[in-house]
Amino acid sequence: MMMTHDVGLHFLIGLQPSPALTEHDRALLADVRPAGITLFKGNFDRDQPEAVWRARLADLLKRAQDAIGREKILVALDHEGGRVHRTPAGVTHFPAARAYADRAEEVAKIMAAELHAIGVNFILAPVCDIDSNAANPVIGDRSFGVDVETVTRAALAFLHGLDASGVIGCAKHFPGHGDTDVDSHHALPRLPFSAEDLAARELLPFKVLIDAGVPAVMTAHILFPALAGDLPATLSPEILTGLLRNQLGFTGVIVSDDLGMKAIAPWFEAPEAAVQAVSAGCDLLCLCAAQADTGKARGMRDALTRASEAALQNGTGFAGISSESQARITLLLNRLKV
């Protein structure tokens, strides 16, 4: 009998901007059955009193989980402080990471406790990028600092704070977004670094967090021609499998940054690009309504299913939907604190 895979497990889908589950999202979640969802500002009923928005959010999350039909789901949120803050009053709005670098563990504990109380269990942080380019339009004070030592120390402390409060963290943006002068939400940055250049600076915070057991790492939509030719890091086996897994020894879940971002979107006009991303090493494909039609997840799911079935029949070729990748995601789900 041919072995089958739970292909939907490889998706993390951002909900449409509504505090109630839309019919679009209900149908999509029931069809694809992703590992989880990502929340944005529009999913919080911000104009209502705290008790009301909390109750509406709880209902939204219950309906989403019921639609997905899994015992546990990831509920992800970008939550860094400063510019990257989605929640309404009632959840502490911390300043940007730069301002709390010397108390990152304490801040992370508070963040995790507050978010766990409203149903969030997967914080897309800490930022491990080093703010080494003053012209960088997207990182800046989201980084803990301008040098390796400060970023590494604070990112590690932040991870410890999340762990202490039972919330999963995700180091980002691998292999480093700190030295770009282009925002990958809008265009594709290009960096001339060699593997040796990255090893001397950008990779150092990631390596320390990997050694400390960080459960997830998010990719960067950046071109590194010296390493991967004309493929962004998110689609590069040299970077995700060769560098992150084989060289740095990462055994956790690799999460793509949002596949709707302008930097990567041209590659994903064809759903078969999902096969390329998973083949490169991505475990979770993140697709969010803020920049894309999340309905594209169906085509991506189908492309992955076709490639997986062909590989299972032939015994060669596509190996992205592997038992190892599925096991990594399952282990992440099993870590969730109920």
Q: Which of 102, 185, 197, 302 is an active site residue?
A: 185
In whole angstroms, what is the distance from residue 290 CA to residue 77 CA? Answer: 13
From the list 25, 257, 258, 283, the catalytic residue is 257
Q: List strand residue ranges (DSSP E) for the chain, in order.
A: 11-14, 36-38, 74-77, 122-123, 168-169, 171-174, 216-219, 253-255, 285-287
Q: Is 185 annotated in the active site?
A: yes
Q: Is 216 helix (H, G, I), strand (E, B) or coil?
A: strand
d(CA 21, CA 60): 6
DSSP for 139-165, written as a single string: SGGGSS-SSHHHHHHHHHHHHHHHHHT
Quick check: is 160 catalytic?
A: no
CB 280 within 8 A of CB 241: yes
Q: CA nearest 172: which of 221, 109, 242, 230?
A: 221
Q: Which residues of 95-131 are buried (b: 16+ CB within 10 A; e: fewer)?
A: ebbbebbeebbebbbebbebbbebbbbbbbbbbbbbb
Contact residues for 6 (Cβ-Cβ < 8 A; gap 6+): 33, 326
CA end-to-end span of the chain, whole Å?
A: 36
* Catalytic residue annotation: 185, 257
